[in-house]
Structure 1
Amino acid sequence: MQSTSFFTTGDGARIAYRFDGDASLPTLVLSNSIGTTLHMWDAQIPALTRHFRVLRYDTRGHGASSVPAGPYSLDRLGRDVVELLDGLGIASAHFLGLSLGGIIGQWLGVHAPERIERLILSNSSSYLGPAPQWDERIAATLQASDITETAEIFLQNWFPAAMLEAGGPAVEKFRGMLLRTDKHGLAGAFAAVRDADLRRTIALIPNPSLVIAGLHDTVTAASHGEQMAATIPGARLVVLPAVHLSNIELPQAFETAVLEFLLAA
């Protein structure tokens, strides 16, 4: 199946998802960052589908998924994944999440570890407080007439300056995703990040885990990745010389790190 399908969660949200790859292969779930869609992973699909059946989905409030009234909780975002796996009859899968996707991955490792095989947390954090900065961001997002200004701030945080100045299809693709994101979905997801504090509980994650950090990441600093890897028992850490979207900036190094970890004996 190559087209987008839809699944309805227990609270009535409509989640868009798609499969790529041979149905006989093990399943790998990909989870997107705030302000993007499942298409943030397009460049990785050729490499990943050689070994996995890839299941991508749009986080609620993003892409083709519905935009329920916010705020959203991390618990709800995590249960969206569990219910999606249930609905598709998938007992367990590998999971790769970047940024917000990585926060969702941490929740799954703590609360539903039996559903996850190997866990990859990329350019993510266990805590991005304090809350007041998020309250200000949520209020500004909801009050703005559009998200043009917010989109430019995101892009500056996601890509190195030289890449932004050069422009090109990659940057424009992400600008387009941002500009098409509903401000209510964005604000709802901000609330989930605001309220998340997994700094202690990720010590409970039993799954084999890989943490990928960006050396120049200003959103989820490399020190956050180091702390996650030190807290999750037995976790491996790979630090790439990238900013926030390491899968876009350094795709080959990113894919190598992911596949070496997932395919290791």
Structure 2
Amino acid sequence: MDTGTHTVELDGVRQRYHVHGRGPVCVALPGGPGVDWAYLRMPALEAHLTVVYVEPIGTGGSGRLASHPHGYTRARYARALLALLDHLGVATAHLIGHSHGGFVAQYFALHRPDRVAGVVLYESAPVTGPEHGAEAQRNVEEFARRNADRPDLPGVLAALQATASISDDDEMDAALRGLLPAYFADYWGREAEFAPLRATVRGTHISGLDERLVPDTIDDRAALGSLTVPALVVAGRFDVICGVRWARELVELIPDARLVVLERSGHFGHLEEPAVFAEAVAGFVIGS
């Protein structure tokens, strides 16, 4: 739990993680799958909590499976998370899962509630697949209408389309940097603030297929009613990919779940409204 970057071999795979802050332990799972952990750094939250930022297996400095870029299912990520908790000597921890990390967090909370003190589903959803994709497309169209006069808009929309054909890490980097404005409530209005992230964000190509090349699709709607751990759902009003519609559905499905909507955020509320985000998450963690 010393502050800084750590690397350990767990379950035969190299695992890198980063520890910052002081207080109750929260394990932060980034999105993608495949997006480098650094975008999820939450200094405002670290003032209240010890945050363990995971570089998921297959991503960044962590090791890759023999089946790479395939085989990174939620079950495999959950297995790696369990090994990390054991290594840290943490009996129970709060989980903060952002985007795809939220899918992993809810899977782990459903299957190993004995190791979870509470879960923050941050820009997550109960389902992927065609229904999720159709909602995202509607949100992207609304984003395009709001920003029709922006010269960079065609490039952003092209990058969003390109995500379906990514096949290597360089293409992943280019797509992330191209599409990033769509993931903020007002990227161009705060461009000086967010441009450094756009210039440096990195990712690893993860296919979303299991070792048999079958899509690891998600539909937790039937299971979430049995979730027994405290849950906080956080969503940005302008998130195009995992927005308020899905947050409300999660809250309806999960017993006693709480909802926080960040009214001036897109997909990155910890960057767009850091104080509001930190107050909500720290209050939940300390209170549960």
TM-score category, normalised to shorter length: 0.7 to 0.9
For normalisation by structure 1, the TM-score amounts to 0.84
Q: Counterpart amino acid of 2:26?
A: L
Which of 190, 195, 198 in structure 2 is aligned with 1:171?
195
Show the counterpart of 2:219.
Answer: 197
Give secondary structure in 2 for the equivalent of 1:207: coil
Unaligned runs of at least 5 residues, structure 2: 134-160
Indicate yes or no: 2:283 matched with 1:260.
yes
Paired residues of 1:215 and 1:243 also in contact (CA < 8 A): yes
Q: Counterpart amino acid of 2:183?
A: W
Larger-gyration structure (1/2) = 2
Indicate yes or no: 2:248 matched with 1:223.
no
Offset of residue 207 of structure 1: 0.6
Indicate yes or no: 2:61 matched with 1:64.
yes
Indicate yes or no: 2:255 matched with 1:233.
yes
Offset of residue 107 of structure 1: 0.6
Question: Which string of whole-angstrom CA distances, capped at 9 and with x for unpartnered residues, describes residues 25-72 of structure 1?
Answer: 421111111143332233x23x33333222111112222212331131
Show the counterpart of 1:109.
Answer: 109
User: Distance in 2 between the 1:78 and 1:150 partners?
Assistant: 27
User: Distance in 2 between the 1:244 and 1:19 partners?
Assistant: 23
Give secondary structure in 2 for the equivalent of 1:238: strand
User: Distance in 1 between the 2:170 and 2:235 partners?
Assistant: 34
Q: Counterpart amino acid of 1:173?
A: L
Offset of residue 7 of structure 1: 2.5
Paired residues of 2:49 and 2:282 also in contact (CA < 8 A): no
The count of corresponding residues between Structure 1 and Structure 2 is 253
Show the counterpart of 1:39.
Answer: 38
Show the counterpart of 2:17.
Answer: 17
User: Distance in 2 between the 1:146 and 1:137 partners?
Assistant: 9
Offset of residue 143 of structure 1: 6.7
Structure 1 residues 149 and 17, CA gap change in structure 2 (3 angstroms): closer
For normalisation by structure 2, the TM-score amounts to 0.78
Structure 1 residues 193 and 59, CA gap change in structure 2 (3 angstroms): farther
Runs of 4+ in 1 over 6 A off after TM superposition: 136-139, 189-193
Question: Which string of whole-angstrom CA distances, capped at 9 and with x for unpartnered residues, describes residues 139-195 of structure 1?
Answer: 6111796335422454133223x42465335332244223xx232xx3248989852
Unaligned runs of at least 5 residues, structure 1: none
